[in-house]
Each structure stands twice: as C-alpha cells, then as structure tokens.
A and B are shown apart, each in its own frame.
Chain A
Amino acid sequence: MTATSHQRALSGDTARLQPVRGQVPPGRRERGAGAYPWAMSGAIALAVIGASLSLNGVLRGWAWLLPVITVVMTVALTLALLRALRAQPLLVTLGGLVSLVLILVFTFFRQQSFAGFLPTADTMSQLRRLIRRAGDTVVSESAPVAPNIGIVLVTCACLGLVVVLMDALAVPLGMPVTSGIGLLAILVVPATIKPLSVGLLGFLATAAGYLLILAFSQWYAPDSRVQSGATGNSGHLRRTAVTGIIALATALVLPLAIPGFDHGTFPQGSRLNPWGSSNGLNPMITLGNSLRNPSGEGRITYATSSSRPVYLRSVTIDRFEGETWAPDDRSFARLVGPDNITTPYEVQGEVIRELTSIDTGQFTSPYLPTPFAPEAVTGLSGRWTWDPSTLTIQAENTTSRNQQYIVFSSIPRLTVQSLARATEQPRDIPAEFSQIPNNLPDSIRQTANNVAGSGSPFAKALAIQRYLRSAEFTYSLQAPIQNGYDGNGISVLADFLDRKSGYCVHFSSAMAVMARLQGIPSRIAIGYAPGRLTGDTMALAGQGSFPEFEVDARDAHAWPELYFEGLGWVAFEPTPSRGVVPDYASEASTPSGISSNIQEDDLLAVPDPAPSAAPPVPVPAGGQAAQGASNGILGVLYGSAVVLFVALLLASPRLVRAGIRARRLAPGVSSRTPGRSAKGAALAWAELKDLAKDYGFRTTPSETPRLFSTRLRHSKAIGEPGGLDDDGHEAVIALTGDFERQEFGRPGDAGTAPTAERIAAVRSSLKGNARLLVRLRADWLPPSVMSRWGSLVSWPFRMVGRGAVSIGRALSRTWRRVIRSVHWRSWQQ
C-alpha cells in the first residue's frame, strides 16, 4: 500500500471519529457535578478573603483577619456542603445565612449564648452594645481605626453576607459575572478611605479570586455548549485582548480628564482626594507613608536669613485623647489674616528675628508650612486663618499649592542657662496642653518618672530626650508596621516604649506625653525637617541672597514642642538620626556651661542629617544613617538579584521545556544501555506530542498515534505539504512510523533514527506557521509544561475536593438510611 492510500484510509477514520468527539464523555458530567460546589465556594471564599486583605489600613494591624477568615470559610463550606448534598437553591442560601449567624455567635458572643452558638436574649443586648461601639468608632475615629470587637463583628457580618450574596448570584442564578458586585462592595471601603486606595495585595487577591469564579463557572457550566475547550477559536483571544486594551486605556486616560483623580494610576492613587497629593485627613497617619515613599513628592524650596536651616511646621497636635490623635480643629478660635500674628504668652529676653521665603510648589495641604514662631506672613493668595494658641495657619478657601510667601518669624535667643532658669510653673497657657490622657498605661508613667529624674523642667526635658536618643532606641520605618503598632495613640505608644523601635511620630509623641507627665506643657508639631541645600541662592528683599534649601515628602517629620514659662514653646529633637538637635537641647553643650547661642559655626554641619550630624548619638543599625554608603552597593546587589530572579522566573517554563527536550533527544539516551535502543522513538514521540501541544494542537488520550499524526499533518499548524513545510511533514511521518514500530512492532527490530533533526524540522514548520502570540506562548509559557505544573499545583486541591465529596456522599447516604429506618419504624407501628 502506498502512502497516499494510508492517508485516505486514515482520513476516513478521522471523519468517522469526528462526531464522537463532540459528545460529552459519559464520565465527565458526573465528576463535574461533584466538584462544582466545592470549587465555586472555594473561589468565592478566596475572592472575599482577598478583597478583605485590602481592609488593612482601614482597620489597623492584622488581628481582625483571623475572625474574618473563620467566618468566610465557614459560610462558604456550609454553602458547598449543602449544594453537594443537592439541597434546594433557596435552602442553600438560607443555610448559608443560618451558618453565618451561628459562626458569628460562636466567635463573638460565646459567653452570652446558649451552648456556645445559639443566640439568646443576652446575645441581642451584647450585639446592640457592640454595634453602638462600632458606630462610635466609625463616627469618631479616622482610618486606620483600631480593630475593636464591634468593628470586627460588623466587618465579619458584612463579609459573610457578601459570600452568601455572591454565591446566590453565581450559582443558582447563574450570573457569575454579576457576583463581582459583592467584591466591589468590599473594595469600595478601602478605595475611598485609605490614602493609597485598595493596595496591590488586596487588588491582586481579589482579581485572582474573581477570575477563579469565572473560570469555574465556565468549566463546570451546566450547559455544555458554554464549556470552553470544544472550540479553541482565536476570535475569543482577540476580543479579550481588545477589551482589555480599551479598559486599560480608559483607566489610564479617564483620571486625567476628571479633576480629583489627580495622580497615579489604578489601583493606586486614583482615589478621590480633595486635598491633592501629600495629605490625607490626618497628617499623623500619612507621615509614615510619606517617609516610606521613596519618590519625594511635594517639593518645597525655601531660603532663610536664619543662621541655620529651619524646621517648617504646618500643624500641631495637642489633644492626646482617643485611639487616634489628630490635629484639633479649633476653628472657633481662629483669626483671619496672618499678616499680623501675636502670641498670647510673654517672651522675655532677647529675640532673634528671621525672614524666610518659601515656595510650596506642588505641595498641597490645608496648612501652611512656616518656621516657628511666625509673626507675619505676606504674599499669600486666598483667605487664611491662624490660631493664636498653636500659631498654625490654615486655609479657608484655598490650599498651600503654588504659594510663594515670606514669613517673618521670631524666636527667643535660647541658651542652656536661660532655659535652666525657666523653672516657674506655666501660667499663660491653656490647660489642654497639660492634660494627661486618662487611659494612660502605668508603664509609660513609670518610664517617665524613671527617666526624667528630678530637677528643673528643662533638665527633665533633656533627660527624656537623652533617653529617647540613647542606644536603646533604634530608628526604623518598618518595625512598627511589622509589629503592628504603626500609627499613633496611647496604645501604640506603650508598644513603642516596649519595642524601642520606631520613627519620628513615635519618638515625638513619647516625649510629648512624658513631658506632660512631668508637668511640662507639650504638643507635637508636624512638618518638615530642614532638608538639603539645592546649591542655588535666593535673594531676599533687603537681606541679600541666601542659600536655597529643599524639602520633600521624605523630610516629613514630627517633633515635640515643650512650653517653658517666659520662653514660650521650644522645639526638641528626640528622634535619633533625624533632623538637627538644637544647641540648647544638645547634650554636649549642657555641661560646658558656656553661653552658647545658636552658633554660626554649626551651620555647616546642618544641611543633611548625615551620620556626622549627630556624633554623640550612637548610630542605630537600622537607622537612616547606617544606610548611607553601604546602601549603594547593597542596593545594586539586591537590584541585580531581583532582576536575575525575575528573569529566571520568566524564563523558567522555557528553561524547563528546553531541558525536557534536550533530555529526550540526547543521542546518549538510546545508546547508553543496550536493549533499549528503541526507546529513542518513544521519547521523540512524546516530544512531538508536547511540541504540538505547545503550538495549540489539541490531542485526546483515545487518539491513536497515526490518527494524531494525520490530523497534525492536515491541520494549519504545520502548514501545507509540499514547499517549505515538506521537511516537517516528512519528519512527522517518519517519527510516527518509528514510534509505531517501537510501540507496537516486534521487540528489537528498530534502528536508530535521527530524531533530533526530525524534531527540529517539525519545530521549524510549526514555528513558521504559527501566529506571533502562539509562537511567543510556545516559547515562553509552553502549555505542555504549564499544564504539567498546573496539575501538580492543583493536586492537593483535587485530593481535598475528592475527599470532601466522598465524605459528603457518605453523610448523605447515612442520612438517607436514617430517614429510611425512621420511616420503616413508623410504618411498623
């Protein structure tokens, strides 16, 4: 028989077998019904938990996550179990709601319930209490709020309801796409509240869960026509790509057209932010984010006649009450017109007057950064008010954006001696600056007493500062986050004093609180550390030209201001390796006793908070200073390691594929052991099948080698016979023949064949005929490797699913038997 008649006979077979492939194999439907509820519930639970990850930042820390996972998983498992037992759809949803109530009672009201999970009247009264508490939290605190039990209860209940809702939408109603509304409802909360919107982790986890829901609903579609796989048409991919591109373009372009969505791209930064970039509601909270943000936004430049660069101060915090500290509004006391600012207290002694010219550039905030203490501000546009007791300047109808203004400021000439003399009790100061928080832990009080010792108020202040700048404390932007005390408030403060690691917010609030405990009025100033020289100079009217400094978000800073009678408010610097320790507050100058005013010769040391800036302060390991020189090398190392890792990761399917190919086609494989010489044909065949799979040519296990090869040669994948692809066709024929002889022929009558060349010929034919996308996929994400990995990854899930299904079946069988025996008994009686 000639080759052509083979072909005809086989193509006849192909035609005869074709209609069968369209039918669903009998086993498949049954298996799908078994795993479907589990897969679907699992995907929904994953999506909801993923979306809830983005709530970190709305709720502080991660402590709330465990109850959330418990509740979501319980509800999802209940739904899946009921569905696996083939309960009515309505019953499934009702069962989900009941399980939600039970698990909530079990988690939150175990004491007030019957048998640990049945709600009672006590439960209801406790529930009212918790809900009121949650309401209080929502109204009174700004994000991130402390995860108290009320808020966590409400969160868990909402998430559980979302699971039930999504399940009802996705499964019985058959609208898996619409079920995404539930996820959207969760994401809206962090998107509007958190300064950085949803966050990458939450977004990715949500997206993954949602895609899983869509995928499962398609794989297990009750209507087999919906199932993918039967038709692997390319139109799908193209439509998907076009839709994706349009959506992406819209997401990128639309924010530019809508005011308010003013920087960044989705998912980060596209939140509605009425004050623009650098400020949220509470500067205390955004401060840490600003410091951690390496981009350095909100650049402000200034030049000052002062002998050293100045701290720019925008807002103060003076009420240390509640879970979260925030600047006081005090709008009742504000006066309009910052061109003549007077202090309510008396300053005795000599006063140094300074002139500072500031350009805020893109920095946007309702508060105006000024050096302390401003006497007059000129050149502002818009309507501004100032607060006599805190001397903060706030906009009424504008922001600090693009303001150029000149601040006249005055500070008393401070010396160690003048400060040391200020021992009188503060009189001219409102009581709120001395108020000690009522929920203060004893540990802080003890620490304050131990550290401050006895002496003049100034000595006590110095002692506290010395304690905080000692080697015991390290400066770290990350430690508070890792240990869950990022933010501010009394509880955070206790954690900070315990861990002894944090950043300026922690140091300054610690010093402010401890000062109040020692009877010194205090407040926390928030603004910017001095910053760096730009190298330019700026001319100040009538004062000559002065060097220009710049600060940006990386210089965001908080420091305590302490009040001494007769001298007014004095700034301290308890944060190690940040800012500049004023001379009057410097340890070195204290014992010397020399009258040291703010010295001209110290000016040079100032511009950058480099290691040399604070020699007496031991450099902490994790501090900013330590990173200086070694930072470069380490950064390069880390960077290259990351790049290498990413490159390896990207290439790994390709590398694995190439490795498999090389192993199969190695000439040694067939000749290494005698008697196995024919194995080469089988390996080459496996390679051929994988190659075809890589280029999107599907195969079924019931297909014979010859049928496969015939189909391959008649498909578009390998091109027309004759011409360029003739080699490929011949190679396929030869490979098929060898493999058939080896697999089905008499043992030991196969010769060696140039398999590598043949595979190469097939590959080049496939490559030449594939479209670009297919080619790229075959090279970088070969489906043969990916599917193997996929089955490897999904193995545990399959096992768990199978186990759960069999348990469910056993349960239902037992249940049926029980029912039957009950019926039998009742019938007998």
Chain B
Amino acid sequence: MDAKRHSAVDEPLVQRQGFPAVPAAGNQLNGHKPRMMETEDFRDASERILRAINTVIDGKSEAAKLALTVLLAQGHLLVEDVPGVGKTLLAKTLARTIDCSVSRIQFTPDLLPSDVTGVSIYNQSSRLFEFRPGAVFANIVIGDEINRASAKTQSALLECMEEHQVTVDGQSYRLDEPFMVVATQNPIEMEGTYPLPEAQRDRFMARISMGYPDKESEIEMLETHQAVSPLARVVSVVTADDVAAMIATVQQVYVSPSIKEYTVAIGRASRDSARLRLGASPRSLLQLLRAAKATAALDGRDFVLPDDVIAVAEPVLAHRIILDRKAASSGDTPQSVIRGIISGIPVSQDVVAGGRQRDQLRRSG
C-alpha cells in the first residue's frame, strides 16, 4: 500500500467495465435515505436470525447474539478460540441466514493481497484492463485463520474493513453494504504465524471466544450433526435489504448525554488504571457505543441503557487493552480488569443522590 492509493480515496468512484453487478439494495445505503424498520419487524427479524443460528450451533446463543450485534453495528468480528469449537460454523451460519453474498478466504502464508482485494487483468479482446474483484467483495467475508497470512495480506484486508472500499491501481471500488468481516484466529498454533498487532486488532469491533459447549449441548450436537451438515438445512430468513434497514434502525437509537458520559468515564478510567499499559482508544469507545446501540435495539428499545454498554464492554474492549506486566503476572485478565473498572464507575450521580438535589440541578440548568 503506497501513498498513491491513499490519495485516491477521495476521488469519485469509477465503475470499471466488467465489474459484477452489486446488489442494488446494498448501495442505496450510502446515497439515499435508508429504509427504517419498525420495532415489531426489527424484533421479528432479529429473532428469526438468532433462532436460525441456534438451530445450527447448540448452546452458543450468547456468541450468536454478539455476532448479530456486531453485524447491526456495522463492525467486524474476531473469533478467537481453539480449533474445532465452531468458529467458522458460526460465521458461515450467520452469513447463510441472511440472503446475501458470502465469501470465504482461507488465509495462508502465501496468500497475496491481490487475492483478497482483486486484480486488474488485461482483456485481450477489449484491450482494456478489467478489474476482477477479490474475495472481499461480498456482504459477509469470512477470514479463516487470519494470523496465518503475511502482514501485507492482513493489511490489505484491514484497509477494506476500515474504509469499506478497495483501491487497486489508483481506482477505488466501493464495497457492498452491509459489509462485515468475520475473522477467526487460533491462539494455540502460533508458530510461523503473524498474530495481529494491537493496531490491527483495534479494527475489529469485538472479539469473542466460542468456548466449549456444555454437556447437554454437546450430546445434542453429536446426535444432530451425525448425518448431514447442519448448514445444509439453513435457509436465509432475512434479505440483505432487511439487514440494511435494521442497521439504519440501530443508527437511530437514542443515546442520552449521561450514557455518553458513562462511556467516556469507562474509557478514561481504563487509561488511568494502574493495571493497564494501554487503555481504551477513542475509536474503541465509539465502537463500544455503536455496539451498545445495537444491543439496545436487539432488546427492543430505542434508547441505550448503561446495561447495554456493560453488556458489550468486555467483548469490545478486552482485545484492545494491554495489561501491565505486574497485573498480568498476578493473574488478572483483560476481562477481569474491565469488570473491575466498570464496578468502580457510578452509573449517574444525580440518580443516586435522590430527589431534592436533582430538582435543584434541573432548576438551575
């Protein structure tokens, strides 16, 4: 990635010849006012998605809900866990429940950036360079074992994630909306891999680890997954259009000033914490709030509660902060530190203080 490509970002988008038709609905999101979704429809749609995912992956409703939250908050998801707990399955199922384009990239050390973004090929017959879009041109991109790819390839993907566009040969190509990258990472086999640096982990809205299923779920899984792949039975329950509308709805969720203060207080506390070497970045707070909005919407509300922020704080913040060496050696985990920080922040002062002081505040302000 050189300077030229970056400067091209602001240029008008050019549709190259031979560029595959993108779904019309997805493109509308940027230009036109998006269709909003009623609360009832929103709840229906989200419940359908979650139910569909839960039929495939047993006992992981939390992870499924978080994945949907990230999708609706227009973020990207990093799934990190040992092999064989259903990381890829989760990503695939989510993609399959939505009627949208899905592509899967299996990252390997010899994967080139152009494999991800696409490449211009000289067309002999038309005597023109034709852009052949890469795997990233899809609504949901599954990046398997992202840490196996070289740093260069990772960067190519990460640029797409941030900018929602691809720049090849000075030309920028807008990606479809909704656009979500679900990357998986295997923390066990780290040899010969390129683990994502902090700066790049920051691009992912949330990191979840699947964890092992409980006993009942595992038994059930053994029964149901014997014969056929459960994915085969999954049919899409919503359209990409619906998802775009849901995203628009999430964007309209109201955030009260006290919630903003609360969010900022969490961020500042994490930067002041003696147990952390690196606190939460402003971008992470922005993503935290977006995820909280999605959570609120999934909960059927049009305003954010502190509970929403708390609910997503761990998956959103844990992979961005770096523990102090002392804290790490004393057995703290990023999760526990975040929990400690949250338990030290008063939800909102005037609520606790009670009636009279509140009255005065209102009158004076």
CA distance A281 to B356 in the complex (A): 61
Q: State whether the Cβ of B340 lies closer than 8 Å to any Cβ in chain A.
A: yes
CA distance A379 to B221 in the complex (A): 110
Structural contact, B362 and A679, CB atoms closer than 8 A? yes
CA distance A412 to B339 in the complex (A): 101
Chain B 344-365 against A: per-residue CB contact (8 Å), 1 yes, 0 no?
1111110110110011001000
Structural contact, A744 and B355, CB atoms closer than 8 A? no
CA distance A743 to B349 in the complex (A): 12
* Nearest CB of A to B353, in Å: 8
Q: List 28 A-B contacts (CB under 8 A).
A: A1-B43, A1-B47, A1-B300, A9-B311, A10-B307, A13-B311, A17-B339, A19-B339, A20-B336, A20-B342, A20-B343, A25-B343, A26-B274, A26-B344, A27-B344, A676-B362, A682-B351, A686-B354, A686-B358, A701-B346, A704-B306, A704-B310, A705-B347, A705-B351, A740-B303, A740-B305, A743-B258, A745-B256
CB neighbors of B among A717-761 (8 A):
739-741, 743-746
Structural contact, A20 and B340, CB atoms closer than 8 A? yes
Q: State whether the Cβ of A499 lies closer than 8 Å to any Cβ in chain B.
A: no
CA distance A660 to B343 in the complex (A): 29
Q: State whether the Cβ of B299 lies closer than 8 Å to any Cβ in chain A.
A: yes
Structural contact, B346 and A741, CB atoms closer than 8 A? no
Give the most central of B258, B306, B311, B346: most A CB within 10 Å.
B306
Could you say which of B47, B305, B311 contacts A744, with CB atoms under 8 Å apart? B305
CA distance A687 to B355 in the complex (A): 8
- With A701-B352, A704-B305, A740-B305 known as contacts, the answer to whether A21 contacts B256 (CB < 8 A) is no
CB neighbors of A among B249-286 (8 A):
254, 256, 258-259, 274
Q: State whether the Cβ of A359 lies closer than 8 Å to any Cβ in chain B.
A: no
CA distance A403 to B122 in the complex (A): 138
Structural contact, A743 and B351, CB atoms closer than 8 A? yes
Structural contact, A702 and B343, CB atoms closer than 8 A? yes
Structural contact, A744 and B303, CB atoms closer than 8 A? yes
* Nearest CB of A to B244, in Å: 22
Chain A 22-38 against B: per-residue CB contact (8 Å), 1 yes, 0 no?
01011100000000000
By a CB distance below 8 angstroms, the chain B residues around A746 are: 254, 302-303
By a CB distance below 8 angstroms, the chain A residues around B362 are: 676, 679
CA distance A676 to B361 in the complex (A): 13
CA distance A707 to B344 in the complex (A): 15
* Nearest CB of B to A343, in Å: 83
* Nearest CB of A to B314, in Å: 8
* Nearest CB of B to A322, in Å: 64
Structural contact, A1 and B298, CB atoms closer than 8 A? yes
- With A13-B307, A745-B256 known as contacts, the answer to whether A690 contacts B354 (CB < 8 A) is yes
By a CB distance below 8 angstroms, the chain B residues around A151 are: none
CA distance A179 to B355 in the complex (A): 44
Q: State whether the Cβ of A825 lies closer than 8 Å to any Cβ in chain B.
A: no
CA distance A20 to B338 in the complex (A): 10
Structural contact, B302 and A745, CB atoms closer than 8 A? yes
Structural contact, A20 and B339, CB atoms closer than 8 A? yes
* Nearest CB of A to B251, in Å: 14
By a CB distance below 8 angstroms, the chain B residues around A744 are: 256, 258-259, 303-306
Could you say which of A26, A664, A702 contacts B345, with CB atoms under 8 Å apart? A702
CB neighbors of B among A686-706 (8 A):
686-687, 689-690, 700-706
* Nearest CB of B to A497, in Å: 59
By a CB distance below 8 angstroms, the chain B residues around A16 are: 339
Give the most central of B303, B304, B345, B346: most A CB within 10 Å.
B303
CA distance A99 to B294 in the complex (A): 67
Q: State whether the Cβ of A683 lies closer than 8 Å to any Cβ in chain B.
A: yes
The 5 closest A-B pairs by CB, nearest first: A701-B346, A745-B303, A686-B354, A704-B306, A20-B343
CB neighbors of B among A646-700 (8 A):
660, 663-664, 676, 679, 682-683, 685-687, 689-690, 700
Interface of A is mostly: helix
- With A743-B258, A744-B256 known as contacts, the answer to whether A702 contacts B303 (CB < 8 A) is no
Structural contact, B305 and A706, CB atoms closer than 8 A? yes
- With A660-B355, A706-B307, A707-B307 known as contacts, the answer to whether A743 contacts B348 (CB < 8 A) is yes
Structural contact, B303 and A701, CB atoms closer than 8 A? no
* Nearest CB of B to A714, in Å: 15
Chain B 10-36 against A: per-residue CB contact (8 Å), 1 yes, 0 no?
000000000000000000000000000
Could you say which of A679, A685, A704, A741 contacts B307, with CB atoms under 8 Å apart? A704
By a CB distance below 8 angstroms, the chain B residues around A292 are: none
By a CB distance below 8 angstroms, the chain B residues around A6 are: 299
CA distance A17 to B43 in the complex (A): 28
CA distance A686 to B299 in the complex (A): 25
By a CB distance below 8 angstroms, the chain A residues around B346 are: 701-702
CB neighbors of A among B160-194 (8 A):
none
By a CB distance below 8 angstroms, the chain B residues around A23 are: 340, 343
CA distance A51 to B220 in the complex (A): 74
By a CB distance below 8 angstroms, the chain A residues around B344 are: 25-27, 702
Could you say which of B310, B336, B347 contacts A701, with CB atoms under 8 Å apart? B347
By a CB distance below 8 angstroms, the chain A residues around B304 are: 744
Could you say which of A12, A690, A703 contacts B347, with CB atoms under 8 Å apart? A703
By a CB distance below 8 angstroms, the chain A residues around B311 are: 9, 13
A20 closest partner in B (C-beta): B343
Beyond A27-B344, A706-B305, 6 extra complex contacts between A and B, CB < 8 Å: A17-B310, A23-B340, A664-B355, A686-B354, A687-B355, A701-B349
Structural contact, A13 and B340, CB atoms closer than 8 A? no
CB neighbors of B among A61-81 (8 A):
none
* Nearest CB of A to B269, in Å: 11
CA distance A663 to B300 in the complex (A): 33
Could you say which of B343, B347, B348, B355 contacts A686, with CB atoms under 8 Å apart? B355
By a CB distance below 8 angstroms, the chain B residues around A702 are: 342-347
CA distance A16 to B340 in the complex (A): 11
By a CB distance below 8 angstroms, the chain A residues around B310 are: 13, 17, 704
By a CB distance below 8 angstroms, the chain A residues around B258 are: 743-744
* Nearest CB of B to A9, in Å: 7
CB neighbors of B among A162-184 (8 A):
none
* Nearest CB of B to A287, in Å: 57
Structural contact, A685 and B300, CB atoms closer than 8 A? no
By a CB distance below 8 angstroms, the chain A residues around B354 are: 686, 689-690
* Nearest CB of B to A542, in Å: 85
* Nearest CB of A to B303, in Å: 4
B47 closest partner in A (C-beta): A1
* Nearest CB of A to B207, in Å: 17
CA distance A762 to B125 in the complex (A): 81
* Nearest CB of A to B135, in Å: 35
Give the most central of B259, B305, B358: most A CB within 10 Å.
B305
CA distance A740 to B358 in the complex (A): 16
CA distance A317 to B303 in the complex (A): 92
